[in-house]
């Protein structure tokens, strides 16, 4: 078999590799309840899936399990429902359907769905890279770089919407690059479909959406493509996005929301740079490991050196690939510039939210890496292919070792002390409350449990959350229309020693406890 034939059929090998590496990294955590880094965000998304089961699968009225939402009242006002605005929760909806069919709501259902979506994204990343480089070893290398990013690996089987949104965006770019090659309007429409899904799922991917439409508009101006045949699909994409955006705003105005819906820029440039330095300090080696940064540098230097060599050696020979078409380099630059603007607009989030890298720079950086790799000569023989594969495999082993260490590091107890405590204490609470005859419709006030949705998921009940030790918030919570108050035993004992909240418990009457959680009712 000629090497070129192997090159074209190697996607089978890569697909097996993606599944194998994905399971190797993720298997130990497949039934892990949302905890440790960003347990809050992940438990909120988990609760949306539970919410769809509770609301009979009403996709356009998503809900969690909490009546007093963070926005706009910062938990001190209780709505009469648990509906929340949220970016289009398509994955949560699918997860809810599977949970309903199987009768299982355990975390592994959600994690398995995310894992499969993430693997699909990695496969299309390979396909995208292969479209550009025509080299299976280079493309597999890009895929392994992505899969072993510590942050991406952490959420690879998690609960955040950035994973499906990233997958949709990768599929969209694959279709778009394919469209640039075949000029078929059907392929362009598929690209628009997936980038629209990506934006609906995670708003930050609007940068890629706008860049794609802008890039295509530039091609129209350069008369590289036509306008009228694209007008209808583009209009549909815009109308769908705006319709859901306005509906989401309506939901937030009417029902409140658990999810951020405003810009958070720094107060000034000095503050902005402080935040960027804090993000670097917190997440530099979570975005990528040291091995990744060294590889980026090696590939960059090699590509520049090869370009210089080519310029000197073949200075009078034109590159056959040079043409008048706009380069994907320009598209990548547009996306990067868009995310710089997004970073300025959302600067306050970056020091505290590692997953913003998935929502922003991860895709253009991978695309940039593909383009840099494409500068290097294509592998065209078995000998070169075997050598390149062995070198790649060595680096992949090093990257997997690094990411496995980081997976453990990100789950150390200091990063999840409160969330692990709440999970431990509320395990079995649904059965305990059932045994006491407490109705599924009873409204529970949960004091000082973290994060907000976790106790309600484990109790399989709705209620009010008061996570913080702030008098104004606690006082507001005590006025809510609750049936029971629940406090974790160890939290109660610790707080009782300080006497700070004695006045709270003086308003309550002890009802029951199981050694892990204490139940109170209002004093008669």
**Pairwise CA distance, residues 454 & 449, whole Å:** 8
User: Cα–Cα distance between 426 and 448 in angstroms, integer?
Assistant: 13
Residues 279 and 348 sit within 8 Å (Cβ to Cβ): no
Give the pLDDT confidence score for residue 1 in this predicted structure.
58
Mean pLDDT of the residues in the chain: 94
Sheet strands side by side (includes 444-447): 463-466, 444-447, 484-488, 517-522, 508-513
Cβ-proximal residues to 403 (8 Å cutoff; 6+ apart), any chain: 25, 147, 148, 149, 150, 153, 289
Structure tokens at 491: 């939290």
Tens-level pLDDT at each residue, the chain (524 residues):
577 887 888 999 999 999 999 999 999 999 999 999 999 999 999 999 999 999 999 999 999 999 999 999 999 999 999 999 999 999 999 999 999 999 999 999 999 999 999 999 999 999 999 999 999 999 999 999 999 999 999 999 999 999 999 999 999 999 999 999 999 999 999 999 999 999 999 999 999 999 999 999 999 999 989 999 999 999 999 999 999 999 999 999 999 999 999 999 999 999 999 999 999 999 999 999 999 999 999 999 999 999 898 888 876 555 545 444 468 999 999 999 999 999 999 999 999 999 999 999 999 999 999 999 999 998 888 888 889 889 999 999 999 999 999 999 999 877 789 999 999 999 999 999 999 999 999 999 999 999 999 999 999 999 999 999 999 999 999 999 999 999 999 999 887 777 889 899 999 999 999 999 999 999 88
Q: Which two tokens stand for residue 512?
A: 């029951």
Residue 203 DSSP code: G
* Cβ-based neighbours of 227, under 8 Å, separated by 6 or more: 220
What is the spatial distance between Cα 182 and Cα 33, in angstroms, rounded to a whole number? 45
- pLDDT value of residue 319: 55
- 87: Cα separation from own chain's centroid: 12
Task: Please give the pLDDT value at position 315.
Answer: 65
Cα(160)–Cα(387) distance, rounded to whole angstroms? 38
Alpha-carbon gap, residue 326 to 324, rounded angstroms: 7
Contact 421, 451 (CB under 8 A): no
DSSP code for 464 = E
| Both tokens assigned to 448 | 């000082």
Do residues 156 and 362 lie in contact, with contact meaning Cβ atoms separated by under 8 Å? no
Quick one: which of 257, 124, 107, 144 has its CA closest to 198?
A: 124
Delimit the domains of the chain by residue range. 3-409, 418-522
Q: Kindly tell me the burial class for residue 514, based on how many C-beta atoms sit within 10 Å of its own C-beta (0-12, 13-18, 19 or more).
A: middle
Show the CA angle centred on residue 66, arms to residues 62 and 70, nearest 5°: 95
Give residue 5's pLDDT.
80
């Amino acid at each position: 078999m000629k090497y070129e034939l192997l090159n074209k059929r190697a996607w089978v090998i890569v697909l097996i590799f993606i599944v194998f590496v994905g399971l190797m990294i993720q298997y130990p955590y497949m039934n892990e309840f949302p905890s440790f880094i960003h347990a809050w965000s992940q438990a909120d998304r988990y609760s949306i899936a539970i919410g769809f089961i509770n609301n009979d699968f009403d996709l356009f009225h998503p809900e969690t399990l909490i009546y007093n939402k963070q926005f706009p009242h910062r938990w001190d006002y209780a709505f009469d429902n648990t509906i929340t605005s949220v970016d289009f929760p398509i994955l949560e909806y699918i997860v809810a359907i599977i949970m309903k069919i199987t009768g299982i709501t355990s975390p592994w259902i959600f994690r398995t769905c995310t894992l499969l979506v993430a693997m699909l994204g990695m496969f299309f990343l390979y396909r995208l890279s292969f479209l550009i480089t025509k080299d299976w070893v280079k493309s597999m290398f890009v895929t392994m770089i992505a899969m072993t990013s510590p942050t991406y690996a952490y959420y690879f089987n998690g609960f955040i919407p950035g994973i499906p949104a990233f997958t949709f965006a990768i599929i969209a770019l694959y279709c778009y690059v394919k469209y640039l090659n075949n000029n078929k309007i059907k392929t362009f429409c598929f690209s628009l479909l997936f980038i629209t899904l990506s934006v609906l799922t995670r708003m930050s991917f609007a940068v890629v959406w706008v860049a794609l439409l802008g890039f295509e508009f530039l091609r129209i101006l350069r008369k590289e493509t036509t306008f009228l045949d694209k007008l209808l699909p583009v209009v549909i994409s815009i109308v769908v996005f705006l319709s859901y955006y306005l509906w989401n705003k309506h939901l937030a105005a009417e029902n409140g929301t658990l999810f951020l819906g405003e810009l958070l820029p720094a107060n000034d440039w000095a503050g902005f740079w402080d935040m960027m330095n804090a993000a670097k300090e917190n997440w530099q080696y979570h975005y990528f490991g040291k091995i990744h940064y060294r590889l980026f540098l090696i590939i960059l230097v090699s590509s520049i050196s090869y370009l210089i060599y080519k310029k000197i050696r073949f200075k009078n020979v034109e590159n056959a690939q040079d043409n008048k078409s706009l380069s994907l380099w320009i598209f990548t630059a547009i996306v990067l510039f868009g995310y710089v603007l997004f970073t300025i607009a959302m600067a306050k989030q970056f020091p505290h939210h590692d997953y913003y890298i998935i929502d922003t720079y991860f895709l253009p950086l991978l695309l940039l890496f593909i383009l840099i790799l494409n500068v290097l000569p294509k592998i065209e023989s078995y000998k070169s292919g075997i050598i390149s594969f062995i070198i790649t495999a060595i680096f992949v082993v090093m990257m997997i070792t690094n990411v496995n260490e980081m997976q453990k590091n990100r789950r150390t107890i200091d990063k999840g002390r409160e969330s692990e405590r709440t999970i431990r204490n509320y395990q079995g609470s649904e059965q305990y409350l059932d045994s006491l005859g407490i109705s599924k419709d009873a409204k529970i006030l949960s004091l000082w449990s973290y994060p907000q949705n976790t106790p309600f998921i484990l109790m399989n009940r709705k209620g009010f959350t008061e996570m913080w030790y702030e008098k104004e918030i606690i006082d507001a919570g005590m006025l809510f229309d609750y049936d029971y108050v629940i406090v974790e035993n160890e939290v109660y004992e610790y707080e009782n020693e300080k006497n700070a909240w004695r006045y709270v418990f003086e308003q309550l009457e002890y009802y029951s406890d199981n050694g892990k959680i204490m139940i109170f009712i209002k004093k008669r």
